[in-house]
Amino acid sequence: MTWRQDKTLWGLTIGLAALLLLNFVVPDWFRSILTLSLARGSVALGLLVLWRCGLISFGHALYFGVGAYTVGLMSRYLGITDAFLTIACGVVTAGLLAYGLGFLLRQYRGIFFALLNMAFSMILYGVLAKLEELGSTDGISLETTTYLWYAPLGAENKTALFVFAVILTWGVAVLVHLYLRSTLGNMTTAVRENEIRLGYLGYSGERAVHAKFVVSGLLGGFGGAIAALTIGHVDPDSMVYWPVSGDFVFIAILSGTGNVTAPFIGALIYELIRTYAFDKFPEIWQLIMGGTLLAIIMFLPNGLWSLVDRWRGRKAAVATLRTGKEEA
């Protein structure tokens, strides 16, 4: 498959263009919803990478939080507000943490993997919520973001951040897509269903899991850093507490594992439902969220993307019948 034939790359690029154009028409509040969707979508994309091989983490708020707090602490203690540098540091810190913990976590499967992740995320929560130096429960407010030598203010800064986040997320999504097409990235069903067979084919399931875990950690850190810049503030309760991890899993379930674009669409829908519910029905917004999740589990167990697959599947089946060997 060449670059030009890759529908996902086209989809991502069209999405990129559409978002950049939207920048001129949408109101501020919607732009911030879009940016947050990109942030949460990135974390959910990390969960997708894991979930394809049958693992779910109930603690990815850990990497989200590490990414966000790296940005926050750099702003507070080092006075570094450059978006490129802070995001890079947030991603690398989260990736290193995932790499380290990965040596341990790669030995676990099923519910133990999920819960051990939760334990680690709650350790971070405990630290952040208690230590004054780290802002305790109030968190840390960020200084205005700069971009290399460009230091816009007010509305211009918001535009800059949006454009910046959109382009960067596009790049990240493309990289993940390429990763998922690689031999290592394709070791999904193999890990989920049969690590013994994978071993006899010549690769270790644990190493595959470790690689995927690092990828998902990097994505968690990236999402956290973007979210920190967008909100302009980091705090433990809305970024590291266990329900935040629950939200990420929610988005992953809502999206489905079919495609790298799915988590971003899922995250946007999630943000929209949440914002709308919170605005119109403040008493029952959680009820609406919970009801949505239940409905997805019951009626659309493979997420929103399964609708796309179903629609495409019909076309693909026709094509296969006609030519015998159409779809790979």
Binding site for other proteins (CB under 8 A): 1, 56, 58, 104, 108, 110-112, 114-116, 118-120, 122-123, 125-127, 129-131, 178-179, 181-187, 189-190, 193-194, 196-204, 242-243, 246, 249-250, 253, 283-287, 289-291, 293-294, 297-298, 301, 320, 325, 327-328
Rounded Cα gap, residues 296 and 213, in angstroms? 26
Instruction: Return the amino acid letter for 210.
Output: H
Q: Which is nearer to other proteins, 144 or 194 (CB)?
A: 194
Minimal distance in Å, beta carbon 38 to other proteins? 23
Residue 133 or residue 148: which is nearer to other proteins going by CB?
Answer: 133
Cβ distance to other proteins smaller for residue 30 or 203: 203
Nearer to other proteins, 153 or 196 (CB): 196
Cβ at position 324, least distance to other proteins in Å:
9
Q: Considering the complex, what minimum distance in angstroms separates the CB of residue 277 from other proteins?
A: 10
Q: How far is the CB of 151 from other proteins (least distance, A)?
A: 36
Pair of tokens at residue 200: 């006899």
* Neighbour tally for 132: CB within 10 Å: 7
Estimate to the nearest angstrom the gap between the alpha carbon of 313 and the chain centroid.
26
196 is written with which tokens? 């013994």
Q: Which residue has the tokens 């009820």?
A: 287
Pair 106, 207: CB distance under 8 Å: yes
* Closer CB to other proteins, 18 or 294, in the complex: 294
Helix axes 7-25 and 28-51, enclosed angle (nearest 10): 160
Minimum distance between the CB of residue 304 and other proteins, rounded to whole angstroms?
Answer: 16
Q: Which distant-in-sequence residues (6+ apart) come within 8 Å of 4 by Cβ?
A: none
Q: Which residue has the tokens 């309760």?
A: 237
